Chain A
């Protein structure tokens, strides 16, 4: 029961990430929506499944996948956003101020 509630909460967070990805105005804002919401969302789903399932193999796979999501999603988003910022001016068009100018 607890696992199902966690899975539903994680799925709703992933849906919120999708809404942000569809509706936010510029690239960096969309990336912010995806990374924050979907990291927590997928970890909630995986932990919910780990609570529900019994076999140690399944629980280990799920917890390993959750740990890897937490480690890799923010790092990947950081790589992608830095590359986008460096590559072109269109990523900066929505900004009111640019504190990273000359830093990144």
Chain B
């Protein structure tokens, strides 16, 4: 079951990666990065279920916070670039 979840997450990462490369706007690329970050946090949790080892789980907390700060900064940049 968890292996199937990993495969599904890999497919989702492919879709987000396509949007990150293809664009066309800067907002689209940021969507791709956000999606890849969500996939990464989910994959970390699924992997900890497979191994029963939770040593990497604080990384999920940190990645969430860093991703939010990055999204906010890019949003400010996009807003400034349009004016």
Taking CB as reference atom, which chain A residue is nearest B45?
A49
* A38 contacts B64, C-beta separation under 8 Å: no
Taking CB as reference atom, which chain A residue is nearest B14?
A18
**Contacts A21-B32, A68-B65, A87-B79; A53 near B54 (Cβ below 8 A):** yes
Indicate which residue in B38, B54, B79, B83 contacts A42 across the interface (CB closer than 8 Å): B38
* B65 contacts A49, C-beta separation under 8 Å: no
Majority DSSP secondary structure for residues of B touching A: helix
**CA–CA, A90 and B78, complex, Å:** 13
**CA–CA, A22 and B18, complex, Å:** 7
Q: Specify which chain A residues have a CB less than 8 angstroms from the CB of B2 in the assembled complex.
A: 4, 7-8
* A53 contacts B52, C-beta separation under 8 Å: yes
* B25 contacts A79, C-beta separation under 8 Å: no
* B48 contacts A30, C-beta separation under 8 Å: no
* B68 contacts A75, C-beta separation under 8 Å: yes
Q: Specify which chain A residues have a CB less than 8 angstroms from the CB of B71 in the assembled complex.
A: 76-77, 79-80
The interface of chain B, by Cβ under 8 A from chain A, is 1-2, 4-6, 8-9, 11-16, 18-19, 25, 27-28, 30-32, 34-35, 38-39, 41-42, 45-46, 48-49, 52, 54, 57-58, 60-61, 64-65, 67-68, 71-72, 74-76, 78-79, 81-83
The interface of chain A, by Cβ under 8 A from chain B, is 3-5, 7-8, 10-12, 14-15, 17-19, 21-22, 27, 30-31, 34, 38, 41-42, 45-46, 48-49, 52-53, 55, 57-58, 61-62, 64-65, 68-69, 72-73, 75-77, 79-80, 82-84, 86-88, 90-91
